Amino acid sequence: MKLISTPIHASGVPTPIKAIPISPANTPNSIKFLIGGTAGMTATLFVHPMEVVKNRMQMSGEGGGVREYKTTFHASRAIHRSGGLSGIYAGLSAGLFRTATYTTARLGIYQVLLEHFRQPDGRPPRFFVNLLLGVASGGLGSFIGTPAEVALIRMTLDERLPMTERRNYAHVFDALVRITREEGVFKLWRGGIPTITRAMIANAAQMPTYSQAKQALISTGLMQQGFPLHAVASLIAAFVTTAFSLPVDIIKTRYQNMKVIQGKPEYTGIFVSYYLLIFYVKIY
């Protein structure tokens, strides 16, 4: 806020001081990326236990075996009972590193693309173009975050393995170094295709669903602009996004965690993982 006064009148009484608002400077993109990454990492501290439960349940019944967990609450209790707080937060460092790499990269790439494809009058690009930008930024961001994703999957599932087969990574950087040394640098991107596919599906489903949900809630008179509207629309978008991306997410989890037995991997490719998943769904 800038204060400006007019000249003093002949009577010697100054005119009232007028406050002229000045538009705040635009926030630099680097600060936006930092804020987005920090917010994502903070959220990870709260949602990571659900990530552990999700990964364990996705591996439950693998290969036609007996399902270990019946429900989410059953899995949560069982994991906490066997591993305590450290068990329910297994792989937290990998979860934080994945968020720091994937979220920051996705936001950064999207912002750069958004500025490049703005319309001549400064308006955002059309909906379909904006949708493609979200898909592209999600795919590229997930490619950057795949090594952290591989470490996260292995660290959250390590307790399932027999003691002699556990990897026992100390933290995410220990996992990345050991994977590179023991299996080769390209194994850091194992399951990269389903990881990228999941991210692209999630972004494609999330963006239009969120916008349409908001519009529907307003047009029907159920809600008005405000935080509750954004919260409800976000929950709807999250449900739809999960429903569309979950099959690919299960394939990704199993493929990235597979073991090599006597020189032969459990799955020879992601399509084999897909057919095994379909077989699993039909049985259960």
pTM of the model: 0.75
Quote the pLDDT of residue 282. Answer: 44
* Pick from 94, 48, 43: nearest CA to 234: 43
* Pick from 168, 166, 167, 174: nearest CA to 147: 174
Domains of the chain: which residue ranges?
A: 28-60+67-190, 193-257+270-279
Q: What is the pLDDT of residues 98-154, one digit of tens each?
A: 999 988 888 888 888 888 888 787 777 787 887 888 889 889 999 999 999 999 999
Quote the pLDDT of residue 16. Answer: 53
Residue type, 57: M
- The answer to whether the CB of 69 falls within 8 A of the CB of 55 is no
Q: What is the pLDDT of residues 175-195, one digit of tens each?
A: 999 999 999 999 999 988 888
Question: 28-60+67-190: which CATH topology?
Answer: Mitochondrial carrier fold (1.50.40)
What is the token pair recorded at 173?
A: 């950087």
How far is the C-alpha of 222 from the C-alpha of 234, rounded, in Å? Answer: 16
